[in-house]
Structure 1
């Protein structure tokens, strides 16, 4: 245990680690058996050895030399960081044989006893190659296709390693919306181009995302981003019935983390997963509350959480993405084969000191529906706790953009962009029109 933690923090940390250990309830027996064969280790702690302090003029000279060396090192580091940042915009794809981003080496094992807490997991990066193939049929006139790309901004749980594309388009490029951290690929075909087609290959490194309530001190988010994540949008208002509902959900709770948890619990207790809804849902929070029918798919449930948070002053945002691998929790929370309809929306909210806290209320409701879980089922009890602060990263994030206006068109805004869009002769269509737009997505793990 960390000697700097207070008694209360140790209890919270113990509860967090114990909840993490309960993941074994969902793991297949073969995985548990494999894990038992692996040893566990914990970092050792110790005090740095003391050194003799120089005295007199020698001490002052050494101090001046050390300070000068420190300033030189700081300047060199700043210049190196600037050069690295200037090269980050478009990174080439790594070779298929390249290893995933280097993980921290495991410390030597130490003696453990029956009451030792489980070790916190070391970084477990997994690298995937995601290939998207698009073909357009039965269209006339000029054509443009847009496709959301994986989130370009690196973070502790996802890194974009680059993209490549080819096809019979006339031109293709990528543009960004820094506020929503959205990167979009687009391609143009002139009239009479034959059968338009393209393929985009992206490489992404992933690891599971955990929130630890015993750890504070995360970097503060930009004020511009936080203000943007408090705004009302066309489908996610923050006044009227939305605010009234949020106030009822939080009651007298004042702590922002506890407020987020109260809203998360309210959403779980009052929504239903509806598999008959089209796509990932409409994401119309006001319509849901007005009708009293709190049902839908992941976008509907995640955006309801986001709207309720924003209405009481908690910055929150949806995160749209795509499932790319099997799940260790439940089969329905994973994906394999053609992933063209495996889009999924999660959410996160911001609190000072902790930063962005991940939640996934939609997957709790989906598991309840798919597995017919009862309220007192131990797996459901664990899943509810787990998905407040945990994302299983068998999923890649695209963006957090709402009311999206596609570059190069004056057409209507989209509620969100999570799948390809096409426009020909002023008419827009998407993957729901399979007679005109064919979309195939496959993901392969390439790190061994």
Structure 2
């Protein structure tokens, strides 16, 4: 049995010049020196367990799992990463996706000719979160967190599914015409998305994030990885650093929204958020996709956009995140170490378990066939 416990991913971090507030822990810590933050300061502690059970066999197999990490912002801290993978080689890896952005993952491999039998992985992440809010009613401050120019350049570059030229830039320029400053430009993009996009419940998983397709076809329906990717691409195209944050919900909402939380079995509770950078404020959280989720799912039959509950979500989700959710990474176009299966050895983002058996890729959006489960529980003391 291969069994390991790591309390941070410091050994896999990017160079210090590229770390800043990327979702990468800053330094290794021992168990005895990493206590959970105090609940008195608004912190909640959670345990997220991912269990994978591949079909028994002796052929090669791989599993790649996202892990909880520690952004430098004071809203999430990783407390421990523990796994068991009998008969397999398993290690924490930091891989680089588009623009060199680091994505931590647990990579598990069973080689050809491995002893036949069940192939299982159990990954447990322990972390603490607290609600995040940037007060945009105040003027920009010289004391606000500052990001390095190297990191900001990373989050201005296009990805395979999020171009920043052509129709994307033309659309963003129309939306932001006459707006002064990055906050007001980003606000205009956010409001345009809330008004013009819609959540489509029939879309598998969280969507694909194919921004070019959305704008070219005029089909602005999708889920969080589509709608928030559109925000990110539009913002980048007019010079505003922006990024997606991929993760999963881990608790019900304390803000009164039935549709914006999940506890217990969170196998299908993945959620992508977004944020943008503005000098004098730092990284600012947004989530236009969740506004559209409230419209569609808060009550049976949906709500009109001018409903008080939608208006409350719309106001809250420009500048705030309720942290009943854990962030995994900001990556795009991510290579899967050792992948052999068709059609590609990269994925647009790492938010779900990924795997392959006998060089055939498993369907990450079908946990029953793939055979994985994710469970979240609060362990705040």
Shorter-chain TM-score category? 0.7 to 0.9
Q: Deviations over 1:92-130 (max 9, x none)?
A: 4999xx7x31367xxxxxxxxxxxxxxxxxx30000111
CA contact (8 A) 1:348 1:359 kept: yes
Match of 1:383 in 2: 313
CA distance in 2, matches of 1:253, 1:399: 31
CA contact (8 A) 2:161 2:211 kept: yes
Which residue of the other structure, out of 349, 353, 377, is the alignment partner of 2:276? 349
Give the alignment's Cα RMSD to 1 decimal: 2.3
Q: Deviations over 1:211-256 (max 9, x none)?
A: 1122622232122211111111111011111111101111111211
Residue 154 of structure 1 and its aligned partner are, at CA, apart by: 4.1
Match of 1:444 in 2: 377
CA distance in 2, matches of 1:305, 1:93: 41
Match of 2:228 in 1: 302
Asked whether 1:333 is paired with 2:263, we answer no
User: CA 1:160–1:301 in structure 2 vs 1: closer, same or farther (change >3 Å)?
Assistant: same
Match of 1:147 in 2: 65
CA distance in 1, matches of 2:39, 2:358: 50
Match of 1:89 in 2: 28
Counterpart mapping for 1:71-86 below 5 A: none
Residue 324 of structure 1 and its aligned partner are, at CA, apart by: 0.5
Which residue of the other structure, out of 320, 325, 339, is the alignment partner of 1:409? 339
Match of 1:418 in 2: 351
- Give the match's secondary structure for 2:335: coil
CA distance in 2, matches of 1:137, 1:93: 38
Residue 90 of structure 1 and its aligned partner are, at CA, apart by: 5.8
User: CA 1:440–1:90 in structure 2 vs 1: closer, same or farther (change >3 Å)?
Assistant: farther
Match of 2:129 in 1: 206
Whichever of the two has the greater Rg, that structure is: 1
CA distance in 2, matches of 1:87, 1:267: 34
Asked whether 1:172 is paired with 2:90, we answer yes
Counterpart mapping for 1:100-119 below 5 A: 100-102=36-38
Residue 379 of structure 1 and its aligned partner are, at CA, apart by: 2.1
Asked whether 1:285 is paired with 2:211, we answer yes
- Give the match's secondary structure for 1:430: coil
Q: Which runs of 5+ in 1 are unaligned?
A: 1-85, 105-122
Match of 1:43 in 2: none
User: CA 1:390–1:435 in structure 2 vs 1: closer, same or farther (change >3 Å)?
Assistant: closer
Higher fraction of strand = 2
Asked whether 1:161 is paired with 2:79, we answer yes
Residue 155 of structure 1 and its aligned partner are, at CA, apart by: 2.6
Residue 168 of structure 1 and its aligned partner are, at CA, apart by: 1.2
Match of 2:162 in 1: 236
CA distance in 1, matches of 2:30, 2:292: 38
- Give the match's secondary structure for 1:332: coil
- Give the match's secondary structure for 1:310: helix
The alignment's TM-score, normalised by the length of structure 1, stands at 0.72
CA contact (8 A) 2:58 2:117 kept: no
Match of 1:63 in 2: none
CA distance in 2, matches of 1:153, 1:380: 29
CA contact (8 A) 1:303 1:318 kept: yes
- Give the match's secondary structure for 1:241: helix
Q: Which runs of 5+ in 2 are unaligned?
A: 1-24
- Give the match's secondary structure for 2:265: coil
